């Protein structure tokens, strides 16, 4: 039986693995990285460390097969990562002065460059959508409504925490994910009347959703 439950510390290795196995626009990125934990260290670890109360796991009865992660206050989360997460990771993964001696096609160098100069969300975007989230599911848990249920759990939790809006970034090449978020009501901010200016990251598109305050 597949269930959604709060994250537990014992899930960390599974979540790192899911991140890697879905890290190529939803497909397996294992063969692209020399360090199999690097992708999770950038895109999973900070959330487990600093916002575990907003981490939810899809459990297929044996182990985690998906997750959704979020930060209530993106700007504060970025500052916390800059102070308490990136320094140690940068020390372990310095920017190489010479081309790394790794196999052709390795994505490690690009990710190391990113963690040394991480993207910072546009303050204009954050006025309307101060929270952010991301979600990953292994293939055998996709296309069965579980992604929607995970997102809905996260959205209700963020709304209960007082967030007025949430954003996310999706690969510009991942048409399936773009369609999924649009069906959930997410819009590109520039297309939302009165919303924030559009924001585009390298290879990514930003979508936002306003959240209604929970009824008493």
187 part of a folded domain: no
Which carries the bigger pLDDT value, residue 146 or residue 97?
146
For residue 199, being part of any structural domain is answered with no
- Residue 104 predicted with pLDDT over 50: no
When pLDDT is cut at 50, 70 and 90, the band that residue 124 belongs to is very high
Count the domains in the chain. Answer: 1
**Nearest-5° angle of CA 6, CA 9, CA 142?**
50
Please determine, for residue 194, whether its predicted confidence score (pLDDT) is greater than 80.
Answer: no
Residue 197 has pLDDT above 80, yes or no: no
Q: What is the pLDDT of residues 134-153, one digit of tens each?
A: 999 998 888 788 999 999 99
Give domain status of residue 65, yes or no: yes
**180 lies in some domain:** no
Residue 159 pLDDT greater than 90, yes or no = yes
12 in any annotated domain: yes
- Residue range 1-21, pLDDT digits in tens: 889 999 999 999 999 999 999
pLDDT at 204: 86
CATH number of the domain that residue 24 is part of = 3.40.630.30
For residue 77, is pLDDT > 90? yes
Predicted confidence (pLDDT) at residue 83 exceeds the cutoff of 50: yes
Determine, yes or no, domain membership for 111: yes
Question: How far is 108 from 160, CA to CA, in rounded Å?
Answer: 38
Name the residue with higher pLDDT: 75 or 202: 75
Q: Is the pLDDT of residue 190 over 90?
A: no
| Number of C-beta neighbours around residue 33 at 10 A | 19
Q: 87 is in which domain, residue-wise?
A: 3-118+134-164
Q: Which residues are paired to 59 by β-bridges?
A: 3, 64
Determine what percent of the chain is predicted with pLDDT higher than 90. 71
Question: For 111-138, what is the mean pLDDT?
Answer: 94
Task: Identify whether 93 is part of a domain.
Answer: yes
Between 198 and 210, the higher pLDDT residue: 210
| HSE, side-chain direction, 13 A CA sphere, residue 172 | 7
Residue 183 lies in a domain: no
What's the CA gap between 70 and 77, in Å, rounded? 10
**Higher-confidence position of 212 and 58:** 58
């Amino acid at each position: 039986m597949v269930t959604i439950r709060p994250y537990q510390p014992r899930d960390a290795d599974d979540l790192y693995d899911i991140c890697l196995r879905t890290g190529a626009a939803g497909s397996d990125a294992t063969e692209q990285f020399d360090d199999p934990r690097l992708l999770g260290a950038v895109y999973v670890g900070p959330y487990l460390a600093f916002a575990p109360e907003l981490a939810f796991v899809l459990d297929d009865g044996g182990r985690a097969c998906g997750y959704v992660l979020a930060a209530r206050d993106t700007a504060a989360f970025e500052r916390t990562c800059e102070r308490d997460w990136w320094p140690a990771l940068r020390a372990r993964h310095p920017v190489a002065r010479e081309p790394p001696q790794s196999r052709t096609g390795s994505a490690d160098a690009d990710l190391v460059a990113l963690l040394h100069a991480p993207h910072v969300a546009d303050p204009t975007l954050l006025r309307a959508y101060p929270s952010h989230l991301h979600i990953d599911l292994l293939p055998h848990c996709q296309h069965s409504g579980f992604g929607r249920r995970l997102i809905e759990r996260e959205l209700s939790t963020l709304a209960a925490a007082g967030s007025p809006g949430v954003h996310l970034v999706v690969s510009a090449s991942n048409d399936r994910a773009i369609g999924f978020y649009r069906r959930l009501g997410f819009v590109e901010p520039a297309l939302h009347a009165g919303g924030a200016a559009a924001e585009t990251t390298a290879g990514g598109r930003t979508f936002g959703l306003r959240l209604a305050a929970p009824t008493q």
